[in-house]
Homo-oligomer: A and B are copies of this chain.
Amino acid sequence: MTQLNTTSHLILTGDRPTGPLHLGHYVGSLRQRVALQHQHPQYILIADLQGLTDNGSQPEKVVNNILEVMADYLAVGIRPDLSTICLQSALPALAELTMLYMNIVTVSRVERNPTVKNEILQKGFSRSLPTGFLVYPISQAADITAFGADRVPVGDDQLPMIEQTNEIVHKMNALTGEQTLRRCEAVLSPMGRLPGVDGNAKMSKSLGNALSLSASEVEIHRAVSDMFTDPGHLRISDPGKIEGNVVFTWLDAFHPDTDKVREMKAHYQRGGLGDRVCKNTLEECLQTLLAPIRERRRALINDKETLLGILKQGSEQAHELTQKTLAIVKKGLGLPVMF
Protein backbone atom coordinates (compact mmCIF):
# COMPACT_ATOMS: atom_id res chain seq x y z
CA MET A 1 0.00 0.00 0.00
CA THR A 2 1.55 3.19 -1.06
CA GLN A 3 1.07 6.57 -2.62
CA LEU A 4 1.80 7.16 -6.26
CA ASN A 5 3.95 10.25 -6.20
CA THR A 6 7.02 9.77 -8.32
CA THR A 7 7.19 9.63 -12.07
CA SER A 8 9.20 6.44 -12.41
CA HIS A 9 6.42 4.04 -11.49
CA LEU A 10 4.84 1.57 -13.85
CA ILE A 11 1.30 0.42 -13.23
CA LEU A 12 -0.26 -2.90 -14.17
CA THR A 13 -3.94 -3.44 -13.73
CA GLY A 14 -6.56 -5.48 -15.52
CA ASP A 15 -9.69 -7.58 -15.47
CA ARG A 16 -10.84 -11.11 -16.12
CA PRO A 17 -13.17 -10.82 -19.11
CA THR A 18 -15.96 -12.96 -17.71
CA GLY A 19 -18.70 -10.40 -18.31
CA PRO A 20 -19.19 -6.73 -19.14
CA LEU A 21 -17.92 -4.46 -16.38
CA HIS A 22 -20.23 -2.83 -13.87
CA LEU A 23 -20.29 0.11 -11.50
CA GLY A 24 -18.35 -1.87 -8.89
CA HIS A 25 -15.43 -2.03 -11.31
CA TYR A 26 -15.91 1.63 -12.12
CA VAL A 27 -15.66 2.80 -8.52
CA GLY A 28 -13.06 0.27 -7.41
CA SER A 29 -10.70 0.60 -10.31
CA LEU A 30 -11.70 2.08 -13.69
CA ARG A 31 -12.14 5.62 -12.44
CA GLN A 32 -8.72 5.48 -10.81
CA ARG A 33 -7.15 4.20 -14.02
CA VAL A 34 -8.59 7.08 -16.00
CA ALA A 35 -6.86 9.44 -13.58
CA LEU A 36 -3.61 7.47 -13.30
CA GLN A 37 -3.06 7.26 -17.06
CA HIS A 38 -2.10 10.93 -17.04
CA GLN A 39 0.54 10.39 -14.36
CA HIS A 40 2.31 7.08 -15.05
CA PRO A 41 2.86 4.51 -17.77
CA GLN A 42 -0.09 2.16 -17.32
CA TYR A 43 -0.66 -1.28 -18.79
CA ILE A 44 -4.14 -2.76 -18.65
CA LEU A 45 -4.25 -6.52 -19.10
CA ILE A 46 -7.38 -8.30 -20.26
CA ALA A 47 -6.71 -11.52 -18.35
CA ASP A 48 -8.42 -14.04 -20.59
CA LEU A 49 -6.12 -16.88 -19.51
CA GLN A 50 -6.93 -16.20 -15.89
CA GLY A 51 -10.62 -16.06 -16.79
CA LEU A 52 -10.25 -19.55 -18.23
CA THR A 53 -8.81 -20.98 -15.01
CA ASP A 54 -12.32 -21.47 -13.66
CA ASN A 55 -14.09 -21.54 -17.02
CA GLY A 56 -11.98 -24.17 -18.75
CA SER A 57 -15.02 -26.02 -20.00
CA GLN A 58 -16.93 -22.94 -21.13
CA PRO A 59 -14.34 -20.80 -22.90
CA GLU A 60 -17.07 -18.85 -24.71
CA LYS A 61 -17.88 -17.18 -21.38
CA VAL A 62 -14.40 -15.64 -21.52
CA VAL A 63 -13.69 -15.12 -25.20
CA ASN A 64 -17.06 -13.47 -25.90
CA ASN A 65 -16.31 -10.85 -23.29
CA ILE A 66 -12.88 -9.70 -24.42
CA LEU A 67 -14.20 -6.98 -26.70
CA GLU A 68 -17.03 -6.15 -24.28
CA VAL A 69 -14.40 -5.27 -21.70
CA MET A 70 -12.43 -3.32 -24.33
CA ALA A 71 -15.56 -1.32 -25.07
CA ASP A 72 -16.07 -0.68 -21.35
CA TYR A 73 -12.52 0.61 -21.01
CA LEU A 74 -12.75 3.06 -23.86
CA ALA A 75 -16.27 4.13 -22.94
CA VAL A 76 -15.24 5.19 -19.42
CA GLY A 77 -12.35 7.21 -20.74
CA ILE A 78 -9.31 4.97 -20.84
CA ARG A 79 -7.28 6.33 -23.72
CA PRO A 80 -5.17 4.00 -25.85
CA ASP A 81 -2.66 6.79 -26.38
CA LEU A 82 -2.09 7.01 -22.61
CA SER A 83 -2.76 3.45 -21.41
CA THR A 84 -1.63 0.26 -23.14
CA ILE A 85 -4.46 -2.25 -23.31
CA CYS A 86 -3.27 -5.78 -24.04
CA LEU A 87 -4.47 -9.39 -24.06
CA GLN A 88 -2.93 -11.96 -21.73
CA SER A 89 -3.20 -14.88 -24.17
CA ALA A 90 -1.36 -12.86 -26.81
CA LEU A 91 1.75 -12.62 -24.63
CA PRO A 92 3.74 -15.86 -24.59
CA ALA A 93 6.26 -14.46 -22.11
CA LEU A 94 3.57 -14.57 -19.41
CA ALA A 95 3.05 -18.31 -19.89
CA GLU A 96 6.78 -18.95 -20.12
CA LEU A 97 7.54 -17.02 -16.93
CA THR A 98 4.71 -18.87 -15.18
CA MET A 99 6.36 -22.17 -16.13
CA LEU A 100 9.69 -20.98 -14.72
CA TYR A 101 8.19 -19.58 -11.51
CA MET A 102 6.16 -22.76 -10.87
CA ASN A 103 9.42 -24.56 -10.16
CA ILE A 104 10.28 -22.33 -7.22
CA VAL A 105 6.84 -22.25 -5.59
CA THR A 106 5.62 -25.29 -3.67
CA VAL A 107 2.13 -26.71 -3.85
CA SER A 108 1.68 -26.13 -0.12
CA ARG A 109 2.58 -22.46 -0.57
CA VAL A 110 -0.12 -21.82 -3.17
CA GLU A 111 -2.61 -23.86 -1.15
CA ARG A 112 -1.87 -21.57 1.80
CA ASN A 113 -2.65 -18.39 -0.17
CA PRO A 114 -5.69 -16.89 1.64
CA THR A 115 -7.19 -15.40 -1.52
CA VAL A 116 -7.04 -18.72 -3.32
CA LYS A 117 -8.41 -20.55 -0.29
CA ASN A 118 -11.41 -18.21 -0.11
CA GLU A 119 -12.09 -18.39 -3.80
CA ILE A 120 -11.91 -22.18 -3.79
CA LEU A 121 -14.60 -22.18 -1.09
CA GLN A 122 -16.71 -19.53 -2.83
CA LYS A 123 -16.62 -21.26 -6.18
CA GLY A 124 -17.46 -24.60 -4.63
CA PHE A 125 -14.38 -26.37 -6.00
CA SER A 126 -13.15 -29.19 -3.84
CA ARG A 127 -11.71 -32.23 -5.56
CA SER A 128 -12.55 -30.68 -8.91
CA LEU A 129 -10.16 -27.75 -8.54
CA PRO A 130 -8.49 -27.08 -11.92
CA THR A 131 -4.70 -27.02 -11.69
CA GLY A 132 -4.78 -23.71 -13.57
CA PHE A 133 -6.85 -22.19 -10.79
CA LEU A 134 -4.52 -23.48 -8.09
CA VAL A 135 -1.51 -21.86 -9.72
CA TYR A 136 -3.12 -18.61 -10.84
CA PRO A 137 -1.26 -16.57 -8.17
CA ILE A 138 1.95 -17.69 -9.88
CA SER A 139 0.58 -16.65 -13.24
CA GLN A 140 -0.37 -13.29 -11.74
CA ALA A 141 3.18 -12.89 -10.43
CA ALA A 142 4.38 -13.58 -13.96
CA ASP A 143 2.09 -10.83 -15.28
CA ILE A 144 3.22 -8.23 -12.76
CA THR A 145 6.93 -8.97 -13.08
CA ALA A 146 6.90 -9.37 -16.86
CA PHE A 147 5.73 -5.78 -17.19
CA GLY A 148 8.13 -4.62 -14.51
CA ALA A 149 5.17 -3.12 -12.68
CA ASP A 150 5.98 -1.72 -9.25
CA ARG A 151 2.50 -0.40 -8.49
CA VAL A 152 -0.50 -2.68 -8.68
CA PRO A 153 -3.95 -1.28 -7.91
CA VAL A 154 -5.90 -4.04 -6.13
CA GLY A 155 -8.69 -4.62 -3.66
CA ASP A 156 -7.62 -5.48 -0.12
CA ASP A 157 -8.66 -9.11 -0.72
CA GLN A 158 -5.83 -9.29 -3.25
CA LEU A 159 -3.00 -8.30 -0.88
CA PRO A 160 -1.83 -11.93 -0.47
CA MET A 161 -1.23 -11.98 -4.25
CA ILE A 162 1.18 -9.09 -3.97
CA GLU A 163 2.95 -10.82 -1.08
CA GLN A 164 3.31 -14.00 -3.10
CA THR A 165 4.59 -12.04 -6.09
CA ASN A 166 7.31 -10.44 -3.99
CA GLU A 167 8.32 -13.85 -2.63
CA ILE A 168 8.83 -15.01 -6.21
CA VAL A 169 10.75 -11.82 -7.03
CA HIS A 170 13.00 -12.48 -4.06
CA LYS A 171 13.68 -16.11 -5.00
CA MET A 172 14.20 -15.44 -8.70
CA ASN A 173 16.52 -12.54 -8.00
CA ALA A 174 18.53 -14.74 -5.63
CA LEU A 175 18.94 -17.19 -8.53
CA THR A 176 19.50 -14.76 -11.36
CA GLY A 177 20.83 -11.50 -9.97
CA GLU A 178 19.37 -8.79 -7.77
CA GLN A 179 18.28 -6.54 -10.63
CA THR A 180 16.31 -9.11 -12.62
CA LEU A 181 12.79 -8.59 -11.31
CA ARG A 182 11.18 -5.56 -9.73
CA ARG A 183 9.38 -5.69 -6.39
CA CYS A 184 5.83 -4.41 -6.44
CA GLU A 185 3.47 -2.68 -4.04
CA ALA A 186 -0.29 -2.73 -3.83
CA VAL A 187 -2.17 0.49 -4.41
CA LEU A 188 -5.47 0.27 -2.56
CA SER A 189 -8.45 2.10 -3.98
CA PRO A 190 -9.26 5.27 -1.95
CA MET A 191 -12.91 4.18 -2.13
CA GLY A 192 -13.84 0.82 -0.56
CA ARG A 193 -15.78 -1.84 -2.38
CA LEU A 194 -19.11 -0.66 -3.79
CA PRO A 195 -21.97 -2.76 -2.35
CA GLY A 196 -24.55 -4.35 -4.64
CA VAL A 197 -28.00 -2.87 -5.17
CA ASP A 198 -29.35 -5.33 -2.56
CA GLY A 199 -26.82 -4.34 0.11
CA ASN A 200 -24.58 -7.36 -0.37
CA ALA A 201 -20.96 -6.26 0.17
CA LYS A 202 -19.96 -7.78 -3.16
CA MET A 203 -21.46 -6.56 -6.41
CA SER A 204 -21.48 -9.18 -9.09
CA LYS A 205 -23.37 -10.01 -12.22
CA SER A 206 -23.92 -13.57 -11.05
CA LEU A 207 -25.51 -12.35 -7.80
CA GLY A 208 -27.91 -10.20 -9.87
CA ASN A 209 -27.13 -7.12 -7.77
CA ALA A 210 -24.91 -5.27 -10.24
CA LEU A 211 -25.52 -2.32 -12.50
CA SER A 212 -23.52 -2.65 -15.69
CA LEU A 213 -21.80 0.24 -17.43
CA SER A 214 -24.11 -0.28 -20.39
CA ALA A 215 -27.29 -0.22 -18.25
CA SER A 216 -30.27 1.44 -19.96
CA GLU A 217 -32.18 4.35 -18.42
CA VAL A 218 -34.90 1.94 -17.37
CA GLU A 219 -32.42 -0.47 -15.78
CA ILE A 220 -30.83 2.38 -13.84
CA HIS A 221 -34.25 3.55 -12.68
CA ARG A 222 -35.25 0.06 -11.62
CA ALA A 223 -31.96 -0.62 -9.81
CA VAL A 224 -32.21 2.60 -7.80
CA SER A 225 -35.90 1.99 -7.04
CA ASP A 226 -35.13 -1.50 -5.73
CA MET A 227 -32.10 -0.32 -3.79
CA PHE A 228 -31.69 -1.41 -0.18
CA THR A 229 -32.00 1.50 2.27
CA ASP A 230 -32.81 1.49 6.00
CA PRO A 231 -35.55 -1.11 6.60
CA GLY A 232 -36.38 0.67 9.92
CA HIS A 233 -37.06 3.97 8.13
CA LEU A 234 -40.84 3.49 7.74
CA ARG A 235 -42.18 7.05 7.72
CA ILE A 236 -40.48 10.08 6.17
CA SER A 237 -40.47 11.79 9.55
CA ASP A 238 -38.62 8.87 11.23
CA PRO A 239 -34.85 9.21 11.80
CA GLY A 240 -33.02 6.98 9.30
CA LYS A 241 -29.70 5.13 9.34
CA ILE A 242 -27.05 5.76 6.74
CA GLU A 243 -24.77 2.86 7.78
CA GLY A 244 -25.49 -0.02 5.41
CA ASN A 245 -27.87 2.20 3.46
CA VAL A 246 -26.83 1.54 -0.13
CA VAL A 247 -28.30 4.78 -1.46
CA PHE A 248 -25.92 6.84 0.70
CA THR A 249 -22.93 4.61 0.00
CA TRP A 250 -23.58 5.10 -3.69
CA LEU A 251 -24.13 8.85 -3.26
CA ASP A 252 -20.71 8.98 -1.58
CA ALA A 253 -19.24 7.09 -4.50
CA PHE A 254 -20.90 8.97 -7.35
CA HIS A 255 -22.28 12.35 -6.36
CA PRO A 256 -19.91 15.18 -7.30
CA ASP A 257 -21.22 17.55 -4.59
CA THR A 258 -19.94 16.17 -1.29
CA ASP A 259 -21.43 19.06 0.73
CA LYS A 260 -24.86 18.31 -0.58
CA VAL A 261 -24.46 14.60 0.29
CA ARG A 262 -23.32 15.54 3.80
CA GLU A 263 -26.41 17.69 4.29
CA MET A 264 -28.69 14.95 2.97
CA LYS A 265 -27.15 12.46 5.39
CA ALA A 266 -27.70 14.75 8.36
CA HIS A 267 -31.27 15.42 7.26
CA TYR A 268 -31.98 11.71 6.79
CA GLN A 269 -30.53 10.88 10.20
CA ARG A 270 -32.62 13.41 12.07
CA GLY A 271 -35.76 12.48 10.11
CA GLY A 272 -37.83 14.28 7.49
CA LEU A 273 -36.00 13.13 4.34
CA GLY A 274 -37.75 10.40 2.39
CA ASP A 275 -36.05 7.50 0.58
CA ARG A 276 -37.72 8.54 -2.67
CA VAL A 277 -36.04 11.98 -2.67
CA CYS A 278 -32.64 10.43 -1.93
CA LYS A 279 -33.13 7.85 -4.65
CA ASN A 280 -34.14 10.52 -7.15
CA THR A 281 -30.95 12.42 -6.40
CA LEU A 282 -28.88 9.27 -6.85
CA GLU A 283 -30.70 8.28 -10.00
CA GLU A 284 -30.19 11.67 -11.59
CA CYS A 285 -26.51 11.48 -10.82
CA LEU A 286 -26.19 7.94 -12.24
CA GLN A 287 -28.18 8.80 -15.36
CA THR A 288 -25.86 11.76 -15.94
CA LEU A 289 -22.77 9.61 -15.42
CA LEU A 290 -23.88 6.65 -17.49
CA ALA A 291 -25.64 8.29 -20.45
CA PRO A 292 -22.44 9.31 -22.28
CA ILE A 293 -20.68 6.04 -21.30
CA ARG A 294 -23.61 4.05 -22.71
CA GLU A 295 -23.60 6.08 -25.91
CA ARG A 296 -19.86 5.72 -26.47
CA ARG A 297 -20.06 2.04 -25.59
CA ARG A 298 -22.82 1.42 -28.13
CA ALA A 299 -20.76 2.97 -30.93
CA LEU A 300 -17.62 1.12 -29.84
CA ILE A 301 -19.16 -2.34 -29.61
CA ASN A 302 -20.53 -1.96 -33.13
CA ASP A 303 -17.01 -1.49 -34.48
CA LYS A 304 -15.28 -4.65 -33.35
CA GLU A 305 -12.56 -4.26 -35.93
CA THR A 306 -11.38 -1.03 -34.36
CA LEU A 307 -11.51 -2.55 -30.88
CA LEU A 308 -9.46 -5.52 -32.05
CA GLY A 309 -7.03 -3.18 -33.78
CA ILE A 310 -6.43 -1.24 -30.57
CA LEU A 311 -6.03 -4.46 -28.61
CA LYS A 312 -3.57 -5.78 -31.18
CA GLN A 313 -1.49 -2.62 -31.12
CA GLY A 314 -1.37 -2.60 -27.33
CA SER A 315 -0.53 -6.29 -27.24
CA GLU A 316 2.34 -5.76 -29.66
CA GLN A 317 3.80 -3.10 -27.38
CA ALA A 318 3.29 -5.32 -24.35
CA HIS A 319 4.85 -8.26 -26.21
CA GLU A 320 8.02 -6.29 -26.80
CA LEU A 321 8.25 -5.30 -23.12
CA THR A 322 7.44 -8.74 -21.68
CA GLN A 323 9.80 -10.53 -24.07
CA LYS A 324 12.62 -8.36 -22.73
CA THR A 325 11.87 -9.46 -19.17
CA LEU A 326 11.67 -13.09 -20.25
CA ALA A 327 15.05 -12.82 -21.98
CA ILE A 328 16.63 -11.31 -18.84
CA VAL A 329 15.19 -14.08 -16.65
CA LYS A 330 16.29 -16.82 -19.05
CA LYS A 331 19.79 -15.38 -19.31
CA GLY A 332 19.90 -15.09 -15.54
CA LEU A 333 19.07 -18.78 -15.23
CA GLY A 334 21.62 -19.65 -17.92
CA LEU A 335 19.04 -20.77 -20.49
CA PRO A 336 19.93 -20.11 -24.13
CA VAL A 337 17.93 -17.28 -25.72
CA MET A 338 17.93 -18.44 -29.31
CA PHE A 339 15.38 -16.32 -31.14
Residues of A bordering B, CB below 8 Å = 48-49, 52-57, 59-60, 63-64, 66, 87, 89-90, 92-93, 95-96, 98-100, 102-108, 110, 127-135, 138-139, 171, 175, 308, 311-312, 315-316, 319, 330, 333-336, 338-339
Instruction: Assess whether A92 is in contact with B95, with CB atoms less than 8 Å apart.
Output: yes
Closest B residue, CB atoms, query A92: B92
Instruction: Assess whether B106 is in contact with A127, with CB atoms less than 8 Å apart.
Output: yes
Instruction: Assess whether B311 is in contact with A336, with CB atoms less than 8 Å apart.
Output: yes
Residues A130 and B103 in contact in the complex (CB < 8 Å), given A315-B339, A339-B312: yes
Instruction: Assess whether A107 is in contact with B131, with CB atoms less than 8 Å apart.
Output: yes
Q: Kindly list the 6 A-B residue pairs having the minimum CB-CB distance in the complex, ordered from nearest.
A: A56-B103, A92-B92, A102-B132, A63-B334, A103-B132, A95-B95
Q: Which residue of B55, B56, B107 is within 8 Å of A129 (Cβ)?
A: B107
Residues A104 and B175 in contact in the complex (CB < 8 Å), given A135-B131, A333-B63, A338-B312: no
Instruction: Assess whether A92 is in contact with B102, with CB atoms less than 8 Å apart.
Output: no
Residues A335 and B99 in contact in the complex (CB < 8 Å), given A104-B56, A104-B130: no
Closest B residue, CB atoms, query A86: B338
Instruction: Assess whether A311 is in contact with B338, with CB atoms less than 8 Å apart.
Output: yes
Bound form: Cα–Cα A336–B49 in Å: 12
Instruction: Assess whether A59 is in contact with B108, with CB atoms less than 8 Å apart.
Output: no
Instruction: Assess whether A335 is in contact with B105, with CB atoms less than 8 Å apart.
Output: no
| Chain B residues within 8 Å of A104, by CB | 56-57, 130
Instruction: Assess whether A133 is in contact with B103, with CB atoms less than 8 Å apart.
Output: yes
Closest B residue, CB atoms, query A131: B102
Residues A315 and B335 in contact in the complex (CB < 8 Å), given A98-B95, A98-B99: no
Q: Which residue of B107, B315, B338 is within 8 Å of A130 (Cβ)?
A: B107
Q: List 19 interface pairs A-B (beta carbons < 8 Å), by A numbering.
A: A48-B335, A56-B103, A57-B171, A60-B334, A63-B335, A66-B336, A89-B335, A89-B336, A95-B99, A102-B135, A103-B130, A103-B131, A106-B127, A108-B129, A110-B131, A131-B135, A135-B135, A311-B338, A315-B339
Instruction: Assess whether A87 is in contact with B132, with CB atoms less than 8 Å apart.
Output: no
Distance from A91 Cβ to chain B, minimum over Cβ atoms (Å): 9
Scoring A48, A107, A130 by chain B CB atoms within 10 A of each residue's CB, the highest score goes to A107
Other A-B contacts than A95-B98, A108-B127, 15 sampled, CB-CB below 8 A, are A52-B103, A53-B102, A63-B334, A63-B336, A66-B336, A89-B336, A95-B95, A103-B132, A105-B131, A106-B127, A107-B130, A308-B336, A308-B338, A312-B338, A316-B339
| Chain B residues within 8 Å of A106, by CB | 127-131
| Chain B residues within 8 Å of A138, by CB | 131
| Chain B residues within 8 Å of A48, by CB | 335
